[in-house]
């Protein structure tokens, strides 16, 4: 393995040559490119080759190869960084050089020999991504995937930029697909005149709308479907959503959208994106009840019929207590508590029948009758 030489971190390099722009569309993912990500293309003259048995947790990963500068000569002043992908993806070239000089524990730094070769041995759990950096430029971010790998790294004056695109899947009921276009400028320089062209869409599909963050100028037509940004400054992002119209007769399966990206200042790459149209969902069984049923006047089947005025058959009639009236004030049961009513001219207890005489007259009549009978009995005895 090559010896590790200290990296001198100086001022930012001065651009002396024209920026190199490489645009690649529709190329397959090669060894060393990211898993589940897009846009890490390499020049056609460089190839990756895996060798040896795949390492596992606790093992070391061997990563070697060559580094060439922007002029195509061996980049003897460069260093190669091997670490987790996140910090290497987000850091600008100046911060990458600072990180290399600090040489933290979770980072492996390998120097480049006079012939441009390098040889790095990194722990398995910190061997995801690889990048080369020098005062002259920065290489593409490459992904080792924790495997023994041989890489050919090319330095560029600006850090190459990747346009990420995501489409996902479309359900059978949907008639539009949303394609998200995203770029993080992780370089020290502004990305100028970036354009992303939708080269082709599936037959019968079309671009329905573009929703953006305000920085994009779109030119959408039958033959020219282009998104463009004038300037994306360091640490800034570009986010745009392209709405694709899906025909109603689209069959289930995978469809490809071909893309191309360019910039006046940076090497930019993007990969074609695939969208999947899912098959029609299976109909629900007819024996299953509806999730929610709202009873209505015409659609209600209670367990027991609700009683109505014309359809009531009680098992045992409930006793009722008659309401007292002017002619019936006597309680119906012996244990009922009589209600004391205040006498009124229209609601009083019915008196015994009378003939218009006072109550004392009746008593006098009875007494006189008894006396008359007694006298009659006494007279008959004398006879």
pTM beyond cutoff 0.85: no
Judge whether 72 lies within some domain.
yes
Judge whether 84 lies within some domain.
yes
Whole-number pLDDT of residue 217: 78
Q: How many CB atoms lie within 10 A of CB 72?
A: 10
Q: What is the mean pLDDT of each run of 10 residues along the chain (383 residues)?
A: 41 32 33 36 39 76 96 95 91 94 92 96 94 95 93 96 93 88 95 94 90 74 83 93 91 94 96 92 45 46 47 48 46 42 42 49 61 66 53
Residues 59 and 115 in one domain: yes
CATH assignment of the domain containing 201: 2.60.40.680
Q: What is the DSSP string of 323-362?
A: PPBTTB-S-SSTTSPPPP----SSS-PPPPP--SS-HHHH
Judge whether 268 lies within some domain.
yes
Whole-number pLDDT of residue 211: 85
- Tens digit of pLDDT for each residue in 113-138? 999 999 999 999 999 999 999 999 99
Whole-number pLDDT of residue 214: 65
CATH assignment of the domain containing 142: 2.60.40
- 249, 277, 305: which is the final residue of a domain? 277
Q: Is 199 left (phi over 0), alpha (psi -120 to 50) or beta?
A: alpha
Whole-number pLDDT of residue 16: 31
- 130, 159, 188: which is the final residue of a domain? 159
Whole-number pLDDT of residue 368: 67
Whole-number pLDDT of residue 375: 72
- Containing structural domain, residue 209: 163-277
Judge whether 55 lies within some domain.
yes
């Amino acid at each position: 393995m090559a010896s590790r030489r200290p990296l001198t971190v100086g001022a930012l390099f001065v651009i002396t040559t024209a920026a190199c722009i490489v645009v690649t569309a529709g190329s397959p993912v090669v060894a060393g490119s990211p898993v589940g990500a897009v846009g890490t293309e390499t020049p056609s003259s460089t190839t990756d080759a895996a060798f040896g048995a795949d390492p596992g947790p606790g093992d070391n990963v061997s990563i070697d190869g060559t580094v060439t500068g922007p002029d195509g000569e061996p980049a003897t002043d460069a260093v190669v960084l091997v670490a987790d992908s996140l910090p290497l993806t987000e850091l600008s070239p100046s911060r990458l050089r600072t990180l290399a000089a600090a040489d933290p524990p979770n980072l492996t730094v390998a120097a480049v020999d006079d012939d441009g070769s390098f040889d790095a041995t990194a722990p398995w759990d910190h061997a995801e991504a690889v990048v080369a950096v020098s005062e002259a430029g920065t290489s593409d971010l490459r992904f080792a995937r924790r495997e023994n790998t041989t890489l050919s790294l090319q330095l560029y004056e600006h850090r190459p930029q990747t346009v990420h695109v995501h489409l996902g899947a479309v359900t059978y009921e949907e008639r539009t697909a949303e394609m998200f276009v995203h770029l993080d400028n992780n370089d020290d320089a502004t990305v100028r005149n970036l354009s992303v062209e939708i080269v082709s869409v599936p037959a019968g599909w079309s671009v329905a709308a573009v929703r953006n963050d305000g920085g994009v100028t779109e030119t959408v037509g039958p033959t020219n479907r282009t998104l463009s940004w004038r300037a994306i400054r360091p640490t800034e992002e570009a986010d745009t959503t392209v709405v694709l119209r899906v025909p109603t007769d689209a069959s289930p399966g995978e469809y490809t959208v071909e893309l191309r990206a360019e910039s006046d200042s940076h090497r930019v790459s993007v990969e074609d994106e695939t969208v999947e149209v899912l098959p029609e969902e299976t109909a629900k069984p007819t024996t299953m009840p509806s999730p929610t049923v709202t009873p209505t006047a015409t659609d209600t089947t209670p367990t027991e019929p609700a009683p109505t005025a014309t359809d009531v058959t009680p098992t045992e009639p409930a006793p009722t207590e008659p309401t007292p009236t002017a002619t019936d004030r006597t309680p119906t049961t012996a244990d009922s508590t009589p209600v004391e009513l205040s006498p009124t001219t229209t609601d009083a207890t019915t008196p015994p029948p009378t003939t218009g005489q006072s109550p004392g007259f009746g008593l006098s009549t009875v007494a006189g009758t008894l006396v008359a009978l007694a006298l009659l009995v006494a007279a008959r005895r004398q006879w």
